[in-house]
Structure 1
């Protein structure tokens, strides 16, 4: 389990560019090696970075298989739906990604059934019942240190075998969501966080320079046989011990 690689850049624009560079690099490498690229997406600022930067990039888009690290259990037309944000930029109006390669949850099912169906879809994509190994997961972090829909102190943090779980009591609305869990997150080949702004500085320090105690969910992302990368702007990195991260 390698220590995280921390990349500190001048601006949010530089973070977005570096993130997209890394995604394309990982995609092209995976396609050359495995014939496809399996990717997990998150919402929030990650969606903004990717939707602005990826569509113009050169890659074999037909070889991408794109899932969601977590998703709100809301209709596709709801502005809270992460899938619709990506679909509008990467698929619709001549976007580069084939629509069948972007895999949403089914919000018409009860949240427990939506999670079960999504788990089955992921297993079908990877084959068999072995623990799926994504090439890349792109993760966000909230001000409380949550990632995906894995919140501090929540029972979902204790799951040891399920790869996808429903949550009906999210402390951040909307309450119903479907999320990847740590067994699958930490089985990925690479996980990347991207955080910008001084408002993230304190929680970035807590996650990357924890001094003991119960680790926050974002700090528990440590791929067991993979790579962990944090891309930060100077404001988000402002409370880190500079000599150990730059």
Structure 2
């Protein structure tokens, strides 16, 4: 069993794969969950969790977050040890939605999205360029509402129009999916 002291929390830096452009204390804010769930529970300093700046426009917030990445990472494209992702019932991951133009983004590290099909419309997201450089990408999916698209992503042949979650394929890393029984209910082999 690993004890909290053995983890090396002083080396951890937590960035958001995506974030809604809402105040940091808002119930829909990803940062709020990480801050409340980690800080105080483990010896992770609050300043090692990097929020977006919700007081900026969505475009400026994306650029500001890009600068935060560049301050921490020495590579041109950050290489995360791990990215923790979920998948929505529509197959989206981070704030990368099916059929959205951001799926074709090849230049930006962090992209603004002002037309999210899921409220709120203004968000900031890491792009596939960054997600696919991770050493390890981990998906955690729960619930029956995701079962059909879990099957499509893990067993389907959707080469012409893959769901965003299927596009997360770390180039030199690992990919892991953790599912509850409801999310895995339509898979051929469980």
For this structure pair, what is the TM-score category when the shorter chain's length is used for normalisation? Answer: over 0.9
- Tell me which of 87, 100, 121 is aligned to 2:68: 121
How much has 1:207 moved relative to structure 2?
1.1
Q: Quick check: 1:136 aligned with 2:82?
A: yes
**Deviant stretches of 4+, over 6 Å:** none
Distance 1:238 1:89 in 2: 29
Corresponding residue pairs, total: 189
- Tell me which of 164, 187, 190 is aligned to 1:240: 187
How much has 1:76 moved relative to structure 2?
1.2
- Tell me which of 112, 123, 127 is aligned to 1:166: 112
Q: Whose helix fraction is larger, Structure 1's or Structure 2's?
A: 1
Distance 1:200 1:58 in 2: 35
- Tell me which of 41, 45, 49 is aligned to 1:102: 49
Q: Quick check: 1:68 aligned with 2:45?
A: no
Normalised to the residue count of structure 1, the TM-score between the two structures is: 0.72
1:39-80 Cα offsets, whole Å, 9 max, x none, are xxxxxxxxxxxxxxxx96851211101100000001112111
Q: How does 1:31-70 map to 2 (within 5 A)?
A: 58-70=6-18
CA RMSD of aligned residues (A): 1.9
Distance 1:56 1:199 in 2: 34
